[in-house]
Amino acid sequence: MKYRIRITGTCLALVEKIPDKKIQRTILDRIEDLSDEPDKQGKRLVKDLSGFRSIHVAGRYRIIYKIDKQTVIVYILAAGIRKQGDKKDIYKIAKKLFNAGLLDTDPDKT
C-alpha cells in the first residue's frame, strides 16, 4: 500500500537552510521513498519524541516523520543534521518545536 507524503512548512524551511543543494535533493528523494512501507524504515524515537520515527540520510542528516495508518499518510515533520550536543542538532530542534506545539501532523499549522 502506497502512503501519501505530507511535508510540513517547518520541515521545508529546515531543508532550505541546508547549504549543500545535493544534500537537499538527497533528503527530498529519500522522503519520497517513505511512501513505501514507512513503518519498516527508520527507527522509533523515544522519550520526548515518542510516536515519531527517524531515518538516516546523507551521512549525518536525519528525517523525522510520523505515520498515520488510518489516513495512510506519512507526515514529514523535520529534517536536518545530527550533531549530538550541538544546538543545531535536529533532535534538539525537533524537541523545541514539539514543546512549542509546532511539530504537528497538521501541515497548515507549521
Q: Is residue 39 part of a domain?
A: yes
- Residue showing cell 507524503: 5
Domain range holding 81?
A: 4-99
What is the end-to-end Cα distance of the chain in Å, rounded? 27
> Does 71 reside within a domain?
yes
Cα separations in angstroms, 26 against 71, 78, 93, 109: 26, 15, 21, 26
Domain count across the chain: 1
Q: Decide if 104 is inside a domain.
A: no
Give pLDDT tens digits for 30-76: 999 999 999 999 999 999 899 999 999 988 999 999 999 999 999 99
- Classify residue 38: in a domain, yes or no: yes
Residue 107: per-residue pLDDT: 46
Look at residue 12 and tell me if it is in a domain. Answer: yes
In-domain check, residue 108: no
CATH of the domain at 53: 3.30.2310.20
